[in-house]
Amino acid sequence: MNKDTGSGLVSSFKSACAALFGVQSEQNRKADFKRPSPWRFIFAGVIALMVFIGVLLVVVQWVLSH
């Protein structure tokens, strides 16, 4: 993993989260598509989506209990 280019799993997770919320820049999107393997982004996207759904479920349960 090269820290200079931001090609690590953390960078992939940040990119997936930005894409999930629709705030990813065009420059970052193009850089993501230049990477050789999509599996890191797929993994990060699935994890980000699971966390998002989990947070929504917790918030809904909390609101309904009050």
Chain position carrying tokens 């809904």: 60
Domain span including residue 42: 9-65
Q: Assess if residue 4 is contained within a domain.
A: no
Q: Assess if residue 14 is contained within a domain.
A: yes
Q: Assess if residue 54 is contained within a domain.
A: yes
**Angle, CA 34 vertex, CA 28 and CA 35 arms, to 5°:** 100
Q: 23-43 pLDDT, tens per residue?
A: 888 888 888 888 878 888 889
Q: Assess if residue 2 is contained within a domain.
A: no
Q: How many domains does the chain have?
A: 1
Mean pLDDT score of the chain, rounded to an integer?
85
Q: Assess if residue 33 is contained within a domain.
A: yes
Q: Assess if residue 45 is contained within a domain.
A: yes
* % of residues, the chain, pLDDT over 90: 29
Residue 63: band (very low, low, confident or very high) from pLDDT cuts 50, 70, 90: very high
Q: Rounded distance, CA 10 to CA 3, Å?
A: 10
HSE (side-chain half, CA atoms, 13 Å) at 28:
16
Q: Is 31 exposed, middle or buried (0-12, 13-18, 19+ CB in 10 A)?
A: middle
* % of residues, the chain, pLDDT over 70: 89
Residue 55: band (very low, low, confident or very high) from pLDDT cuts 50, 70, 90: very high
